[in-house]
Amino acid sequence: MSRTTIESDDGVLSKDQTESPLNDEGGGSAGRGIVLKKGPWTSAEDAILIDYVKKHGEGNWNAVQKNSGLFRCGKSCRLRWANHLRPNLKKGAFTQEEEQLIVELHAKMGNKWARMAAHLPGRTDNEIKNYWNTRIKRRQRAGLPLYPPELSFQALHESQSQNINGINSGDKGHHDLLQGNGYEIPDVVFDSLKANQSVLPYVPELPDITASSMLMKGLGSQYCSFMPPTMHRQKRLRESMPLFAGYSGRIKNEFTFDQFHNDVPDKIARPFGLSFPLEPDPSPKTPESFGGAVKLELPSLQYTETDLGSWGTSSSPQPLLETVDAFIQSPPPTGTVDDSDCPSPRNSGLLDALLHEAKTLGCAKNHSSDKSSNSSSVTPADIADSCTLNICETEWEDYGDPLSPLGHSATSLFNECTPLSASGSSLEEQAPVETFVGCKVKSEPVEQAWSPDRGKETTNLYVSQPDALLASDWLEQDSAYVKDPTIMTDAIATLLGDDLGSEYKQMTMGSSTSSQGLGFGACAWNNMPAVCQMSDLP
DNA sequence: AACAAGTCCAACCGCTCTATT
DNA sequence: GAATAGAGCGGTTGGACTTGT
């Protein structure tokens, strides 16, 4: 880029290059009064650097300035070389294969851009990072899942394999250990989910929003204050994860389900797909009938045929977006939450970390369900007592940090992993969605644009927006799941534990037959008017 | 055509890790 | 073992570019 720099023929130092002070790597030069240049590189500088590397090879970057006359710090030289000058760099847009690989790698590694770049010859970590960040923003705006379902499923399987192999470590340890394998899939087994996998392959994704303490954090934050708008967006995304704790049936600390019932503000419910004005649509519509009614909020030129954004539906209900924005500003709550400061891989943005946590929760739920309906005073000891694997206890302790493992926004993760609000009990029927009291379900068609094998025919789903849009990806890919909503119900019940699970199943299977397909969002909170009656929402 | 909003991306910054002294 | 330097990584920023109104 040569946007602002005056490019001189010698290219080494132009008149606007000496304004910035030396940074930390200019130490040697600082003593000699040499001011290093910052900002865009000129072609002459590039040439000097290339020439230098040809002669001396890579590395020892701080020597570049000394030996080549280039007024750049070593760090800058390294970056320039690595990102732009080194041979075999691939320029231009990512190919479809690369995009898919990036997503797969991110599902496994999280924001480990450098390691991801190692899997993409010719691509730089910066490039991948930029791509991912823009993609995240896009998809979050659109309320779409970041990962395709099979990635989550694959991650689960890999994690199970690792567990079988006896690789079992806690926090950072397992992280590092797994790095050696090129993957960072935690050795996690979802005990409570194993039994369901044959019929519910995507259940493991549900725990994405199960970070137990997130409930308190999220709720607390709703009542307290939002993050200052000055907070960086990425940070807000990270902090936002706790908001989805409400999904967790196993509640840590003193927060009770009743509390949630009484106190949960609309903003909490909305991302769950509970709060949107949902209107039953009695008139079965064919996908065609919607024609162009589905408004796509995707920027032009950004959702090309090869764009990963086509994973999910491209329909992006605005309310959800607003919700996302609101939620990502929510700070970590204080008070009842165990705010351990201990760093945890759960902040790494790893999908596997979520799975890991989910497993822990699953263990906990299996044994604490009898107590949890009214009281959330489940202690690690309680969990350990009934946990089938010691890992549960250990990891619970290790993960005293209630923060989510994810580096993504809560909404996005919820979107990724929660088949909420799937409409009607089957695609074939496309029955109007009946919902809980006070809520109207508005069915809208969602055009499925993405499938693992891209050539696959697309499917139009009627889902209750907005979160249903997110679920549609999985619905499409698991016909059994789609056709038999009880699968989902059972799975969610399993996740919720005995008490909440049975309650959930009762509500789902009993009171509202047609709402089965709605999943947790529409059913489990059936009796939560404070949450559900959102008819005033846009 | 002008402006605003959104997007992209190169580069910087701060931090951590590792090797060396 | 402590201090220091170098290298690398991930997060963030700022400005050019693109698109929409």
- Nucleotide nearest A127 (Cα, C1'): B9
Whole-number pLDDT of residue A120: 85
C1’ B21 / CA A67, Å: 23
Where residue A150 falls among pLDDT bands split at 50, 70, 90?
low
**The pLDDT of residue A104 is above 80:** yes
Tell me the per-residue pLDDT of A53-63, one tens digit each, with 9 for 90 and over.
888 888 788 88
**The pLDDT of residue A149 is above 70:** no
Whole-number pLDDT of residue A153: 66
Whole-number pLDDT of residue A526: 33
Name the protein residue, with chain letter, whose CA is nearest the C1' of B6.
A299
- Nucleotide nearest A23 (Cα, C1'): B13
Strand C positions with any atom < 7 Å from protein CB?
5-13, 15-20
Residues contacting nucleic strand C by the 7 Å CB criterion are A 1, 3-4, 25, 27-28, 58-62, 74-75, 78-79, 111-115, 125-126, 129-130, 133, 232-235, 299-301, 349, 407
Where residue A156 falls among pLDDT bands split at 50, 70, 90?
low
Mean pLDDT of A441-456: 35
Preceding peptide of A538 cis, ω within 30°:
no
C1’ C15 / CA A43, Å: 19
Spatial separation of the C-alpha atoms in residues A237 and A413, rounded to whole Å = 10
Is A420 in a helix, a strand, or coil? Answer: coil
Where residue A78 falls among pLDDT bands split at 50, 70, 90?
confident
Contact predicate A467/A425, CB 8 Å: no
Q: Where are any strands of DSSP class E within A424-512? A: 443-447, 460-464
Whole-number pLDDT of residue A157: 64
Whole-number pLDDT of residue A521: 32
C1’ C5 / CA A39, Å: 24
C1’ C10 / CA A418, Å: 28
Mean pLDDT of A167-171: 35
Output the average pLDDT for chain A.
46
Render the burial of A461-491: b for 16+ CB within 10 Å, e for the rest.
bbbbbbbbbbbbbbbbbbeebbbbbbbbbbb
Whole-number pLDDT of residue A47: 87
Tell me the per-residue pLDDT of A294-333, one tens digit each, with 9 for 90 and over.
332 333 323 333 333 334 333 333 333 333 333 333 333 3
Name the protein residue, with chain letter, whose CA is nearest the C1' of B7.
A134
Residue of A146, A138, A142, A133 whose CA lies nearest to A104:
A146
C1’ B15 / CA A172, Å: 17
Whole-number pLDDT of residue A23: 36
Mean pLDDT of A377-395: 34
Where residue A155 falls among pLDDT bands split at 50, 70, 90?
low
Whole-number pLDDT of residue A139: 77
Whole-number pLDDT of residue A37: 83
- Nucleotide nearest A42 (Cα, C1'): B10
Residue of A78, A215, A202, A224 whose CA lies nearest to A151:
A202
Question: In residues, how long is chain A?
Answer: 538
Spatial separation of the C-alpha atoms in residues A175 and A165, rounded to whole Å = 15
C1’ B14 / CA A24, Å: 10
Strand B positions with any atom < 7 Å from protein CB?
6-15
Proportion of chain A above pLDDT 70, given as a percent: 21
**The pLDDT of residue A337 is above 50:** no
3-state secondary structure A229-296: CCCCHHHHHHHHHHHHHHHCCCCCCCCCHHHHHHHCCHHHHHHHCCCCCCCCCCCCCCHHHHHHHCCE
Mean pLDDT of A212-218: 34
Whole-number pLDDT of residue A34: 66
**The pLDDT of residue A186 is above 60:** no
Radius of gyration of chain A (CA): 25
Is A460 in a helix, a strand, or coil? Answer: strand
The CA-atom distances, in angstroms, between A416 and each of A145, A283, A470 are 4, 30, 7
Residues contacting nucleic strand B by the 7 Å CB criterion are A 1, 20, 23-24, 37-41, 75-76, 79-80, 83-84, 93, 126-127, 129-131, 134, 137-138, 141, 299, 302
Find where tokens 């006896």 sit.
A166
**The pLDDT of residue A264 is above 80:** no
C1’ B2 / CA A299, Å: 22
CA angle A445, A449, A451 (to 5 degrees): 125
Tell me the per-residue pLDDT of A19-55, one tens digit each, with 9 for 90 and over.
333 333 333 333 445 677 888 888 888 888 888 888 8
